[in-house]
């Protein structure tokens, strides 16, 4: 075993021991720990900003794009947001100990299904240092030990945040090793972590396609991915176009760089001539790429290629295709979509129902913008990510999704 | 790409197309399909038994143990059971389309969380041919396409069962390729199947440790394992021994070969002298292996080694350890257990509560036998296996656990 592997496995083993202790900590104490973590960050605000400045300087020298540098930056306002977010999480209901179902066996034994922590969660992410605190706090609130592995470009920031969170948490009752940051920059550390069967219970990667692919390829413990969103809006034959226009504009333009933003618009052929020119007027600063029918109606649209239907632009670019029917729209979404968030605009109930049933996405919208796929909007209070997987958690993942369950059976001597 | 890989992926792709069709099939039609599958088996009973005889003969020649030959055999009575089990599944509630939660956004949009099929489920199993029909029927009832890969020793039996199930199912509305049996005996086929990311949504292996390990090592799609059960009963200081004796006997002896049977008994030191000799009398035909304290009280007990604490005997053998406290019992279970089913016998509420909270097993029992960990006993109506994993499904997996969910949002033009 390499030294690095020994080191990572020993961190994971320590986290597992911490997870056993975390299972026994009550709601009030968990919330006190979270508030202590917030205080620690408040106290060490200057140190965190100084550490972040080191990362920013290195990032500039390394030629990071301004978008990446922006993601990396921890301003005073962002630290205030981090603190507020931790304090808010402390006020949320405890996801552990919920009675999920309860039945009585014919022999009198009660069978309760109760939410419990998952155990040890490894979070692997890229540049945003605020994930360090967000992920730590949500995992701990759900009673899980957490192992963080951030991007190397944010190494100083992540370390400063970790130090600040831990500075007061131990005194508030956080078990040792319940929050670990893997600092070794060697990429092989990630491989060892995601193969630590029996020590790590869940891996949540957040980042670009190459990070997600590498982890999926290497992982031997369960992974819940936060992958891409190739989201669609379908403007149906029976659409209220006055409703469709703001929905498409909002889904595309309100925040184009996020996963629930619109990427491909599908328009029913019978409404295309009426709808597309009006849309072209509305989306003046959006680059349009369309099929032949779209180009005929919107001369400024560039020709769309096969790649465009697959694209998650995360930018002010919109692919447009004219379709013959709701069937063709659904087939397009089945073929090119990422099962994230897809919407129909239609006033026809049968068409709505067909779309809702057949489109197999985490969130299916009828007459609303795809931009609502978000833990906060869904009423979860907080979000650790949006699962594009199908097992355990689908769509926004809040605190409840960071728990599993066990059965507790109470008898009076029952035998089979 | 090898020919075998091309073939497996093309089967998986066809299954995925079938899954899209299955999503749109209603409850009545699914049940009609199940009843048609039962009729097909009833009609082809003789052909199934003849095919099974070929497997049995080959198995005898290959020197399979009598236990394995028994598992492999399809008697007339067993086929009657298979038919009854399919017909019963047809009467169970549809796990798809359940409204799991429903909220309203402040903007008036409704947010519904609805159960939907997982998609394509691959079931990889060993000798018992009844898994072929059980797994097919449960997956289809939950709206999933299913790819079966049975053991080569049951190849003729599995093929005959598949043919019988399909003989009438198509006419009843089963989409083509919704039920596939991978017949190629090459082990590499399993590797291709469990790496078919984007085509296969879930792999459920059922079988021995080496099968499970091989699949976990190779899989790139999510796996829910049905692994071993190293189950414990802890007889506490405050146990009612008149209750403890039948619980231990039942947990060990009622059916020793199953995963929820007792393997290691833990006894509080203060009750050992009173309890163990009485237990020794009761379990006359059980081989006992104990620590030193146990051997002093039960001279016929052989010395237990470290291996015994890890062992899933699946036989009339019981490991016994005397412990000083509930803490030591819990630590033993944490160290050696498999998080399957563990019980405490105690009349003390604080001790019960401590055990219930700290023992991190799928099923934790207070004053009852571990033998109840079973989908039928838990009121699920049917069971595809018992998950020893923590994500998605834990403990007995019934029809509900063969579904996932999606969010359906209904608005009237809401934008963010």
CA A260 – CA A267 distance, rounded (Å): 19
Average of pLDDT values for B363-386? 95
A334 touches chain B (CB under 8 A): yes
Q: What local confidence, expressed as pLDDT, does residue B168 receive?
A: 97
CA B29 – CA A84 distance, rounded (Å): 52
Share of chain A above pLDDT 90, in %: 93
CA A362 to chain B, closest CA, distance in angstroms equals 5
Q: A7-25, pLDDT tens digit by residue?
A: 999 999 999 999 999 999 9
- A residues 67-96 lying closer than 8 A (beta carbon) to B: none
Q: B198-220, pLDDT tens digit by residue?
A: 999 999 999 888 889 899 899 99
A368 → closest Cβ in B220, B357, B414: B414
Are A119 and B222 an interchain contact pair (Cβ–Cβ within 8 Å)?
Answer: no
Q: What local confidence, expressed as pLDDT, does residue A396 receive?
A: 97
Q: What local confidence, expressed as pLDDT, does residue B180 receive?
A: 97
Size of interface A-B (CB pairs under 8 A): 197
Q: How, if at all, do strands A202-206 and A287-290 pair?
A: unpaired
Please report the ipTM that was assigned to this predicted complex: 0.96
Question: Does CATH number 3.40.605.10 belong to domain A3-227+392-410?
Answer: yes
Are A197 and B220 an interchain contact pair (Cβ–Cβ within 8 Å)?
Answer: no
CA B235 to chain CA centroid, nearest Å: 27
Dihedral of alpha carbons B189, B194, B195, B196, sign: positive
- A226 versus A5: the higher-pLDDT residue is A5
Are B395 and A407 an interchain contact pair (Cβ–Cβ within 8 Å)?
Answer: yes
Average pLDDT, chain B: 96
Categorize the per-residue pLDDT at A127 as very low, low, confident or very high, splitting at 50, 70 and 90. confident
Q: What local confidence, expressed as pLDDT, does residue B118 receive?
A: 98
**Distance between terminal CA atoms of chain B?**
47
Average of pLDDT values for B358-365? 97
CA A295 – CA B223 distance, rounded (Å): 46
On chain B, the residues whose CB falls within 8 A of the CB of A366 are 408-411
Dihedral of alpha carbons B304, B307, B311, B313, sign: negative
Domains of chain B, by residue range, sit at: 3-227+392-410, 231-372
Q: Does residue A67 surpass a pLDDT of 90?
A: no
Categorize the per-residue pLDDT at A210 as very low, low, confident or very high, splitting at 50, 70 and 90. confident
B254 → closest Cβ in A23, A105, A416: A416
Q: B7-49, pLDDT tens digit by residue?
A: 999 999 999 999 999 999 999 999 999 999 999 999 999 999 9
CB of B142 closer than 8 Å to CB of B135: no
Nearest CA in chain B to A16: B334
- Phi/psi-derived region of residue A98, left when phi > 0, alpha when psi is between -120 and 50, beta in every other case: beta
* Residue-wise DSSP of B344-405: EE-S-HHHHHHHHHH---SEEEEEE-GGG-STTTTT-S--SEEE-SSSS--EEE-SGGGEEE
CA A372 – CA B105 distance, rounded (Å): 10
Q: What local confidence, expressed as pLDDT, does residue B185 receive?
A: 84
Closest to A108 (Cα-Cα) out of A416, A328, A411:
A411
Q: A327-356, pLDDT tens digit by residue?
A: 999 999 999 999 999 999 999 999 999 999
B216 touches chain A (CB under 8 A): yes
B47-62 burial, b at 16+ Cβ within 10 Å, e below that, comes to ebbebbeebbebbeee
On chain B, the residues whose CB falls within 8 A of the CB of A377 are 105, 416
Q: What local confidence, expressed as pLDDT, does residue B208 receive?
A: 85
Are A356 and B408 an interchain contact pair (Cβ–Cβ within 8 Å)?
Answer: yes
B416 touches chain A (CB under 8 A): yes
B23 touches chain A (CB under 8 A): yes
CB of B101 closer than 8 Å to CB of B113: yes
CA A319 to chain B, closest CA, distance in angstroms equals 20
Q: What local confidence, expressed as pLDDT, does residue B55 receive?
A: 97
Q: What local confidence, expressed as pLDDT, does residue A134 receive?
A: 94
Q: List the CATH code of the domain at A231-372.
A: 3.40.309.10
CA A130 to chain B, closest CA, distance in angstroms equals 24
Q: B82-120, pLDDT tens digit by residue?
A: 999 999 999 999 999 999 999 999 999 999 999 999 999
Rounded to 5 degrees, φ, ψ at B354 are -65, -45
On chain A, the residues whose CB falls within 8 A of the CB of B20 are 334, 358, 360
Are A367 and B414 an interchain contact pair (Cβ–Cβ within 8 Å)?
Answer: yes
Average of pLDDT values for A372-398? 94
Nearest CA in chain A to B216: A220
Are B369 and A118 an interchain contact pair (Cβ–Cβ within 8 Å)?
Answer: no
Q: What local confidence, expressed as pLDDT, does residue A381 receive?
A: 87
Neighbours of B42 (CB within 10 A): 17
Q: Does residue B127 surpass a pLDDT of 80?
A: no
Closest to B398 (Cα-Cα) out of B207, B139, B147:
B139
CA A22 to chain B, closest CA, distance in angstroms equals 10
CA B335 – CA B243 distance, rounded (Å): 27
Rg for chain B, CA atoms, rounded: 24
Q: Does residue B178 surpass a pLDDT of 80?
A: yes
Are B119 and A395 an interchain contact pair (Cβ–Cβ within 8 Å)?
Answer: no
CB of A143 closer than 8 Å to CB of A37: no
B257 touches chain A (CB under 8 A): no
**What is the Cβ-side half-sphere exposure of residue B160, based on CA atoms within 13 angstroms?**
23
Are A365 and B409 an interchain contact pair (Cβ–Cβ within 8 Å)?
Answer: yes
CA A257 to chain B, closest CA, distance in angstroms equals 15
Q: How, if at all, do strands A363-368 and A395-397 pair?
A: unpaired
Range name among A171-175, A225-229, A286-290, B95-99 with the lowest pLDDT average:
A225-229
CA A329 to chain CA centroid, nearest Å: 26
Nearest CA in chain A to B347: A412
CA B137 – CA B30 distance, rounded (Å): 10
Q: B155-176, pLDDT tens digit by residue?
A: 999 999 999 999 999 999 999 9
Q: What local confidence, expressed as pLDDT, does residue B133 receive?
A: 96
Q: What local confidence, expressed as pLDDT, does residue B203 receive?
A: 97
Q: What local confidence, expressed as pLDDT, does residue B18 receive?
A: 98
CA A86 to chain B, closest CA, distance in angstroms equals 23
Q: Does residue B125 surpass a pLDDT of 90?
A: yes
Q: Does residue A1 surpass a pLDDT of 80?
A: no
Are A372 and B243 an interchain contact pair (Cβ–Cβ within 8 Å)?
Answer: no
CA A92 – CA A97 distance, rounded (Å): 14
- B residues 149-188 lying closer than 8 A (beta carbon) to A: none
Are B23 and A116 an interchain contact pair (Cβ–Cβ within 8 Å)?
Answer: no
Q: What local confidence, expressed as pLDDT, does residue B409 receive?
A: 98
Q: B282-324, pLDDT tens digit by residue?
A: 999 999 999 999 999 999 999 999 999 999 999 999 999 999 9
Q: What local confidence, expressed as pLDDT, does residue B91 receive?
A: 97
Nearest CA in chain A to B102: A378
Same-fold call for A3-227+392-410 versus A231-372? no
CA A331 – CA A356 distance, rounded (Å): 13
A213 touches chain B (CB under 8 A): no
CA B393 to chain A, closest CA, distance in angstroms equals 7
On chain B, the residues whose CB falls within 8 A of the CB of A256 are none
CA A216 – CA A230 distance, rounded (Å): 20
Nearest CA in chain A to B250: A415
Q: A293-316, pLDDT tens digit by residue?
A: 999 999 999 999 999 999 999 999
Q: What local confidence, expressed as pLDDT, does residue B1 receive?
A: 77
Question: For residue B104, what are the β-bridge partners?
Answer: B110
- B294 versus B128: the higher-pLDDT residue is B294
Q: Where are the beta strands (DSSP E) in B131-286?
A: 145-149, 179-181, 202-206, 231-235, 262-268
- B residues 345-384 lying closer than 8 A (beta carbon) to A: 356-358, 360-369, 371-373, 377-379
Average pLDDT, chain A: 96
User: B65 in helix, strand or coil?
Assistant: coil
B392 touches chain A (CB under 8 A): yes
Q: What local confidence, expressed as pLDDT, does residue B197 receive?
A: 93
A335 touches chain B (CB under 8 A): no
Are B364 and A406 an interchain contact pair (Cβ–Cβ within 8 Å)?
Answer: yes
Nearest CA in chain B to A118: B390
Are A409 and B23 an interchain contact pair (Cβ–Cβ within 8 Å)?
Answer: no
User: B199 in helix, strand or coil?
Assistant: coil
Output DSSP code: residue B153: G
Q: What local confidence, expressed as pLDDT, does residue B103 receive?
A: 96
Q: A231-281, pLDDT tens digit by residue?
A: 999 999 999 999 999 999 999 999 999 999 999 999 999 999 999 999 999
Alpha helices in B146-203 (DSSP H): 155-172, 188-194
Average of pLDDT values for A155-169? 97
């Amino acid at each position: 075993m390499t030294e690095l592997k020994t080191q990572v496995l020993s961190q994971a083993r320590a986290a597992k021991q911490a997870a056993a202790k975390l299972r026994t900590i009550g709601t009030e104490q968990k919330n006190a720990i979270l508030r202590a973590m917030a205080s620690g960050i408040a106290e060490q605000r200057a140190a965190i900003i100084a550490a972040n400045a080191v990362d920013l300087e290195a990032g500039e020298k390394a030629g990071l794009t301004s978008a990446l540098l922006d993601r990396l930056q921890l301003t005073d306002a962002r630290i205030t947001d981090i603190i507020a977010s931790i304090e808010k999480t402390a006020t949320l209901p405890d996801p552990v100990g919920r009675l999920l179902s309860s039945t009585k066996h014919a022999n009198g034994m009660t069978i309760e299904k109760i939410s419990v922590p998952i155990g040890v969660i490894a979070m692997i992410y890229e540049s945003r240092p605020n994930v360090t605190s967000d992920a730590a706090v949500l995992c701990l609130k759900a009673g899980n030990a957490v192992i963080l592995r951030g991007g190397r470009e944010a190494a100083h920031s992540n370390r400063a945040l970790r130090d600040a969170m831990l500075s007061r948490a131990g005194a508030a009752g956080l078990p040792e090793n319940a929050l670990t940051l893997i600092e070794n920059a060697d990429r092989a550390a990630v491989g060892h972590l995601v193969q630590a069967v029996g020590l790590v219970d869940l891996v949540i990667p957040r980042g670009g396609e190459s990070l997600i692919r590498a982890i999926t390829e290497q992982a031997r413990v369960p992974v819940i991915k936060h992958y891409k969103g190739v989201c669609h809006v379908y403007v149906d034959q029976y659409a209220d176009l006055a409703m469709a226009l703001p929905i498409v504009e909002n889904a595309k333009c309100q925040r184009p760089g996020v996963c629930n933003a619109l990427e491909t618009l599908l328009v029913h052929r019978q409404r295309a001539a009426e709808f597309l020119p009006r849309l072209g007027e509305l989306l003046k600063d959006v680059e349009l790429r369309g099929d032949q029918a779209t180009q005929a109606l919107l001369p400024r649209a560039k020709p769309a290629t096969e790649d465009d239907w697959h694209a998650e632009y995360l930018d002010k670019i919109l692919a447009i295709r004219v379709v013959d029917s709701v069937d063709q729209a659904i087939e397009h979404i089945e073929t090119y979509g990422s099962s994230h968030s897809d919407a129909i605009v239609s006033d026809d109930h049968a068409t709505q129902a067909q779309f809702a049933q057949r489109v197999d996405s985490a969130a299916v919208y009828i007459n609303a913008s795809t931009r609502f796929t978000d833990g906060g909007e869904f009423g979860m209070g907080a979000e650790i990510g949006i699962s594009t997987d199908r097992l355990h958690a689908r769509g926004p993942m809040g605190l409840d999704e960071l728990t599993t369950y066990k059965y507790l059976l109470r008898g009076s001597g029952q035998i089979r």
